[in-house]
Structure 1
């Protein structure tokens, strides 16, 4: 797709939300609601967010938990809802006939008579997309599904509990209604998108959210800088977070290459927060303070978030939530480590922990915490 500048100011606002739509991150899982206005946005508690539901599929992993349930599926979302997870994160793309569907990879692989072929998800009609994998109709067999791993191998997409591919509309209709949705607006890193295309597909996604979200908590997020600013222009009812590797990987678009650039983009576009690769935060802990001073919220993603100690360290640093694969383990760890403080106990809490009391936690002095924050970047770089 040809390069074309995106003039956000030229995009019409489509913010026509039903009266019962959620205007913040309020649900029965939270103690208080929030205002999504840029100047007052806040997250009321430390969030645990299920990555692609109850965890991503790593087919090359020896860890059975990474191959237990088909990622980005209704089954995976509702399994995550059985634990004290606040949101599920999932990836949304738009088919050729303008239907938002939930799928992570840009291409879907299959095999026919020994020949492997690939199709770009956004070039498929919905009916073609839904023909892959398990089928809804009893006795009907879908097309095989394979997946390309990071090392370039193509393997069978085998999991212990499989499920059908689904649309965004179906997720709203079939997933536990109190569970928040962190909707990642998915685009191909290798394509430079025209403004007209971005606006068109974002409208399709936003319209489904407006129609079906009701009181469900919603967060939009995306790695695509122009899409982040556009979806903020298209609606102002739900918070928009910019996803970034924070410099752990380098891209042609400099806006994607550091936490500093992420802050700049958020402030320019009126976004509410950043979702950073956790390694970027540990390598540059001072950035957390700058992000907070900019009145932006900060969430993280990455495999380190499957380690309870790393999650707790982020809580002490001021990170407001984590996207995790091991939903059961991390929600249990967070529940054990953090609970509302008892009345009268506030003065005994270590500085930086706020109104949270931690059970069976290491007790850090400010000097020790400062040392750890200096040590962590060296450990992450090594």
Structure 2
């Protein structure tokens, strides 16, 4: 059974987030989409990790940007995992699952992040398997300048007419909103505009059930098996 939802950082409730074991479990469970986070190493290599610092997920300390990719991959994580490069992830998941690549850009913190990520997507011929998201407007505009075909979308807590107007102007086909601020008005507006709406990050079964009333909205979750349980219960009623 294919699960129409977004596995947030893979399956972080059972495996270290943003690692290959976490990603492959999401594929095994049948999720259609996977969200992952990308930073840039000191030597300009896109690496997959959520935080700008290493302390929470590895035995290292300090900023991601202060380490080379080789140094980052030598750090220890739980369950014998390591920080993967984006190249490693794309190679392993090509043809297996749709990828939501979130650029962890802040202003010009990583000057070449957008270019390096897009180069890899082109290298692996995965334009149709990837959509690129960010909280950073400028990062998405840089991606759009590289290609009119790549799917892009803003991540935001709430929504507004200005955000929808920007999305239309940029040809964005995706919008990610914190689930608490997803309203029926914006669900309908996004459907009207042809923008795919995602609600993040939903880990409570009661909220998952609520969003079953809005099948056009993708649910982003850490609780993959709980989401499957909710789907199965809903389909049995």
User: TM-score, normalised to structure 1's length?
Assistant: 0.56
Classify the secondary structure of the residue corresponding to 2:62: strand
Q: Structure 1 residues 179, 295: CA separation in 2 closer, same or farther (over 3 Å shift)?
A: closer
Q: 8 Å contact 2:187–2:217 — kept in the other structure?
A: no
Q: How far, CA to CA, are the matches of 1:85 and 1:212 in structure 2?
A: 21
Q: How far, CA to CA, are the matches of 1:233 and 1:218 in structure 2?
A: 16
Report what 2:7 is aligned to: 50
Classify the secondary structure of the residue corresponding to 1:306: coil
Show structure 1 runs of 5+ residues with no match.
1-27, 30-45, 56-65, 111-115, 135-158, 247-257, 338-357, 361-382
1:172 partnered with 2:85: no
Q: 8 Å contact 2:60–2:75 — kept in the other structure?
A: no
Moved segments of 4+, more than 4 Å: 213-216
Please point out which of 230, 233, 248 is paired with 2:145: 233
Please point out which of 184, 190, 200 is paired with 1:285: 184
Q: Deviations over 1:318-338 (max 9, x none)?
A: 54311110112213432553x
Q: 8 Å contact 2:133–2:153 — kept in the other structure?
A: yes
Q: Deviations over 1:200-226 (max 9, x none)?
A: 321100111111254872121111111
Report what 2:104 is aligned to: 186
Structure 1 residue 312: deviation in Å? 3.8
Q: Structure 1 residues 71, 117: CA separation in 2 closer, same or farther (over 3 Å shift)?
A: closer
Classify the secondary structure of the residue corresponding to 1:91: strand
1:359 partnered with 2:236: yes
Please point out which of 119, 132, 135 is paired with 2:75: 132
Q: 8 Å contact 2:95–2:129 — kept in the other structure?
A: no
Q: 8 Å contact 2:55–2:62 — kept in the other structure?
A: yes
Please point out which of 48, 65, 82 is paired with 1:122: 65
Q: How far, CA to CA, are the matches of 1:89 and 1:182 in structure 2?
A: 5
Q: 8 Å contact 1:99–1:126 — kept in the other structure?
A: yes
Q: Deviations over 1:9-67 (max 9, x none)?
A: xxxxxxxxxxxxxxxxxxx95xxxxxxxxxxxxxxxx8311110113xxxxxxxxxx3x
Q: Structure 1 residues 294, 193: CA separation in 2 closer, same or farther (over 3 Å shift)?
A: same
Q: 8 Å contact 1:223–1:244 — kept in the other structure?
A: yes
Q: Deviations over 1:42-101 (max 9, x none)?
A: xxxx8311110113xxxxxxxxxx3x3111000110111111211111001111212110
Q: 8 Å contact 2:199–2:218 — kept in the other structure?
A: yes
Q: Structure 1 residues 269, 288: CA separation in 2 closer, same or farther (over 3 Å shift)?
A: same
Classify the secondary structure of the residue corresponding to 2:28: coil
User: TM-score, normalised to structure 2's length?
Assistant: 0.87
Greater fraction of residues in helix: 2
Q: 8 Å contact 1:221–1:241 — kept in the other structure?
A: yes
Q: How far, CA to CA, are the matches of 1:95 and 1:316 in structure 2?
A: 42
Which of structures 1 and 2 has the larger relative contact order (alpha carbons within 8 angstroms, sep 6+)? 1
1:209 partnered with 2:124: no
